Amino acid sequence: MLTPKQKAFADYYIECGNATEAAKRAGYKEKAAYATGAENLRKPQIIAYIEERQKQIEDSRIASAAEIMQYFTSVMRGEVKDQFGLDAPLAERTKAAVELAKRKVDVAQKTDTGGIVIVNNIPRPGKE
């Protein structure tokens, strides 16, 4: 269980990435901020709290596979405009279609309907 100061330290550390600054912001004495910050980063309960908070932040910020597929689909269909309000060029729409095809798997039949298959059927001299 973290004290309110330790929790504040951890939250500020996540925000700024500097243990001394986080200790100062959390209300620890300025003269002892360096030592307190370093000491706090060695405490398992504070480390665990920081890791859990970072995971929560990452989970909410990183796009899911479904979001990525929806984005590629909307680009491919021309629903996404560029910074000037123009339709995506055909080349970009084609790239989006290719990326979708790479990721498309027919789960019901358990077959891969996209991706790249390399076939090495080039005859080699002396190996016929």
Q: Lowest mean pLDDT of 5-9, 28-32, 95-99, 118-122, name the range.
A: 118-122
Q: Other C-beta atoms within 10 Å of 12: how many?
A: 20
Instruction: Report the predicted TM-score, pTM, of the whole model to 2 decimal places.
Output: 0.51
Two structure tokens written together for 78? 């021309």
53-103 confidence digits (pLDDT tens): 888 887 777 777 788 888 888 988 988 888 888 888 888 888 888 888 876
What is the three-state SS of the chain? CCCHHHHHHHHHHHHHCCHHHHHHHHCCCHHHHHHHHHHHCCCHHHHHHHHHHHHHHHHHHCCCHHHHHHHHHHHHCCCCECCCCCECCHHHHHHHHHHHHHHCEECCCCEECCCCCCCCCCCCCCCC
